[in-house]
């Protein structure tokens, strides 16, 4: 299975192959501020299952579209973390 996503304006697009190796819920202060909710639900995929096109900006490990500001994902050395639902 391949999942796809993009920012609001469509400049940044990404795809993920296969199933996440980890899903979880986080309620740390940063995730609450970022989501405007009591928690975030996320999934992690191996970095080799991830493809991305378009220009990104990254701040404090969180990548976003520089044009529309859509929050997209967290890139790590061996995995990528995507917000779900």
* Segments forming the whole domain that contains residue 41: 2-83
pLDDT of residue 60: 86
pLDDT of residue 41: 93
Whole-model pTM: value is 0.88
Tokens of 6: 């993009």
* Alpha-helical runs (H) found in the chain: 29-35
Please write the tens of the pLDDT for every residue from 20-77.
999 999 999 988 988 889 999 999 999 999 999 999 999 988 999 999 999 999 999 9
Please check the confidence at residue 85 and state whether its pLDDT lies above 80.
Answer: no
Please give the tally of structural domains in the chain: 1
Supply the CATH number for residue 32's domain: 3.90.1590.10
Compute the distance between CA of residue 44 and CA of residue 24 in angstroms, rounded to an integer: 9
Please check the confidence at residue 82 and state whether its pLDDT lies above 80.
Answer: yes
Beta strands 57-59; 50-53: pairing state: unpaired
Contacts within 8 Å (CB) and 24+ apart, 21-29: 21/45, 21/46, 21/79, 23/84
Please check the confidence at residue 3 and state whether its pLDDT lies above 80.
Answer: yes
């Amino acid at each position: 299975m391949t999942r796809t996503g993009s920012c609001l304006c469509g400049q940044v697009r990404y795809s993920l192959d296969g199933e996440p190796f980890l899903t979880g819920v986080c309620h740390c202060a940063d995730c609450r501020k970022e989501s405007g909710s009591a928690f975030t639900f996320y999934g992690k995929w191996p970095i080799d299952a991830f493809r991305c096109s378009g220009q990104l900006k990254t701040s404090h490990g969180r990548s976003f579209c520089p044009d529309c500001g859509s929050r997209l994902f967290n890139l790590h050395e061996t995995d990528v973390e995507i917000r779900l639902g």
